[in-house]
Amino acid sequence: MFKIRPSKEFVAGALVVVSVAGLYWGISFLKGNDVFKSERIFYAVYNNAQGLMKANPVTINGFQVGQVGDLYFHPDLSGRLIAKIVISNDYPVPTNTVARISSDGLLGEKMMVLLLGNSSQSAESGDTLIGDIEVSITETINHEVAPIKLKAEKLMGSLDTAIQVLTGFLDPKTERAFRTSVVSLENSLDHLEGITKNTDGLLADNRAKLDRLFTNLDKLGQTLAANSGELDRALSNAAAITDTLAAANLTQTLAQLEQTSAHLAVITDKIAAGKGTLGLLVHDEKLYRDVDGALVSLEKLLTDFRAHPRRYLAPFGKRNADEKSEE
């Protein structure tokens, strides 16, 4: 009985196939991909990518379930961008899930957050999710503060009308007290206006720096919105306040407000003059450039590590050989 022995060419070819398969699996494993695990592909359309890049993480409730596979322009030539979302987790994704571009940490690195919808039907691979962009801190503050500013102006108008009415029947001593209080209030508002202008100038000159440090200011907008009812009640009770203005020690309160405003003006001047920690951060251009340059270098290093992980993980001799083979 004859035995069939594999030829040397067959054995060599089999070894080459096994080696290539092992190399492909190793590269995919180093990139965070499992070739033996099925993946789902979703898409989302955006008007602005907001700095989102390929290989940025995709999370659900803070847990990474995939990454951004690719980012390219929409074929309709509208300038919109299409993000390819690669999900390596088998967790169900409802059809009305929102793919939101968000910032991760103080450094502002972008990530994609999947906000799961309430639909009973799960999206299938190849479906397009709802695209959304996280609102910036500046827009949130402007949206929440504008109604409060309007209400404060209405309150000041009501107080001015009440004072004019009261001056007709109050005694001369009380009238002089009210006039003094109005003058003090006007001076305090002038100081506050000057502080506001200085603050606006500092924010305009250093917006790029401050945007990275004040991410948690979103909570301020939520607190202001929750207290809007208190301001409505304050406006409705303005008539009752006018009955007790004569007995209130308004002059002393306004004097304290003016003193506080003066202290705030001194602090703002120190910041503008470059004194203190915040002043050095605002005015030391070299410090800012050094920090910014370090961040850019770190980002390039991470990008190169994701694209060529073998350069950093393989032995030196093998790495040189692999780099030449890649070229």
pLDDT, greater one: 54 or 308: 54
- pLDDT reported for residue 71: 93
Element (H, E) at 21: helix 8-30
Q: Of 151, 152, 149, 67, give the one whose Cα is nearest residue 104.
A: 67
| pLDDT value of position 210 | 67
Q: Is the pLDDT of residue 74 over 90?
A: yes
Whole-angstrom distance, CA of residue 28 vs CA of residue 26: 5
Q: What is the pLDDT of residue 238?
A: 62
User: What sign does the CA torsion over 209, 213, 214, 215 have?
Assistant: positive
What average pLDDT does this structure show over 124-137?
Answer: 85
- Residue 202 is predicted with a pLDDT of 74
pLDDT, residue 58, reads 93
Task: Please answer whether residues 65 and 72 qualify as being in contact, where contact means their C-beta atoms are separated by less than 8 angstroms.
Answer: no
Distance CA 33, CA 306 (A): 12
> What distance in Å separates the CA atoms of residue 22 and residue 142, rounded to the nearest whole number?
56
pLDDT of residue 322 exceeding 60:
no
Which range of 24-28, 49-53, 202-206, 242-246 scores highest in mean pLDDT? It is: 49-53
Helix (H, G, I), strand (E, B), or coil: what is residue 6?
A: coil
Flag whether pLDDT at 221 surpasses 70.
no
Domain residue extents for the chain: 40-133, 137-283, 290-326
pLDDT the model gives residue 249: 62
The more confident residue out of 91 and 148 is 91
What pLDDT does residue 303 have?
A: 86
User: CB-based burial of residue 301 (10 Å sphere; 0-12 exposed, 13-18 middle, 19+ buried)?
Assistant: exposed
Q: What is the DSSP letter of 264?
A: H
Q: Is the pLDDT of residue 302 over 60?
A: yes
Side-chain-side CA neighbours of 301 within 13 Å: the count stands at 7
* pLDDT confidence of residue 246: 53
Residue 181's contacts (CB-CB under 8 Å, 6 or more residues apart) are 250, 251, 254
CA distance 90 to 65: 9
* DSSP annotation string for 27-69: HHHHTT--TTS--EEEEEEES--TT--TT-EEEETTEEEEEEE
Quick one: pLDDT at residue 87?
92
Model confidence at 110: pLDDT above 80:
yes
What does pTM read for this prediction? 0.36
Report the run of H or E that residue 83 belongs to, with start and end. Answer: strand 81-87
- Which fold does the domain 40-133 belong to in CATH? Elongation Factor Tu (Ef-tu); domain 3 (2.40.30)
Are the beta carbons of 112 and 82 closer than 8 angstroms? no
What percentage of residues in the chain have a pLDDT greater than 70? Answer: 65
As a whole number, mean pLDDT of residues 12-28 equals 74
Q: How would you class 44 by CB atoms within 10 Å of its CB: exposed for 0-12, middle for 13-18, buried for 19 or more?
A: buried
